[in-house]
Amino acid sequence: MPVQYTNWNKLYPEWRIGPSDCSQSCRKSKGKPNGKKPAPEEKKLYLEPEYTKSRITDFEFKELVMLPREIDLNEWLASNTTTFFHHINLQYSTISEFCTGESCQTMAVCNTQYYWYDERGKKIKCTAPQYVDFVMSSVQKLVTDEDVFPTKYGKEFPNSFESLVKKICKYLFHVLAHIYSSHFKETLALELHGHLNTLYTHFILFIREFNLVDPKETTIMDDLTEVLCSSSGSSSNGSGNGSNNSAGAQNHVKER
Ligand SMILES: [Zn+2]
């Protein structure tokens, strides 16, 4: 079941006003807040080859993310961002019962901790499920706001649209990264790692194609990205049986 979001009027970061730089509403710090050295990294289960090769499709995501001819860039960004939001929300909901205030006392990804900042720049101390709730409820509010994600004919996208999309993608990346770093075991137990890998690969190639997230922000997962995304879009990789699995994608997306 998708997660229900209730904090509609509380503690939203101010998405519409403020510096175009999207680093203001969320900052991170390395290591533990008490200054102690971070614990040595555990072995990353999600990097095991037997798991990284698991996907649910052999689509050529590099082609799939490209802006199709005749489609407006903002429309393409809006449609994809909304879809990623729904899929990442759904993927998180599969492990959300394990992501509790006790198991995840902070929004941690490997040894990095993320903090949520309210609209006044005040740091909000929150657990991982609270952080994800802030992200999802804020994004839900944005993607259903007709002034930000217009769906009616003749309605224009706001000037701030691209910077809002960048913010959304940054936060969605944090959620995906948290699932990998803290809930991969549960994802494996549910046999949903193929879905997670596929979603991650598609998402990373999309944000790369349109430079939506600062590469510094995603460095933390570079080891995984390298394994998953370097094999995506390469016809010499994958099953190698010459099947026509990518034909579907090519029907939808033509060369620019
Ligand atoms: Zn968690």
pLDDT (0 to 100) of residue 108: 92
- CA 73–ligand 1 middle distance (angstroms): 34
Q: Contact, 48 vs 237, CB < 8 A?
A: no
pLDDT (0 to 100) of residue 39: 52
Residue 1 pLDDT greater than 80, yes or no: no
Q: Contact, 15 vs 171, CB < 8 A?
A: no
Residue type (1 letter), 190: L
Ion ligand 1: protein residues whose beta carbon lies under 5 Å: 99, 104, 128, 182
Which DSSP state fits 19? -
Average pLDDT over residues 36-53: 76
Mean pLDDT across the chain, nearest whole number?
80
Indicate the fold that domain 26-31+48-252 takes in CATH. Answer: Butyryl-CoA Dehydrogenase, subunit A; domain 3 (1.20.140)
Q: Would you kindly state where each structural domain of the chain is located, as residue ranges?
A: 26-31+48-252
pLDDT (0 to 100) of residue 178: 97
- CA 178–ligand 1 middle distance (angstroms): 6
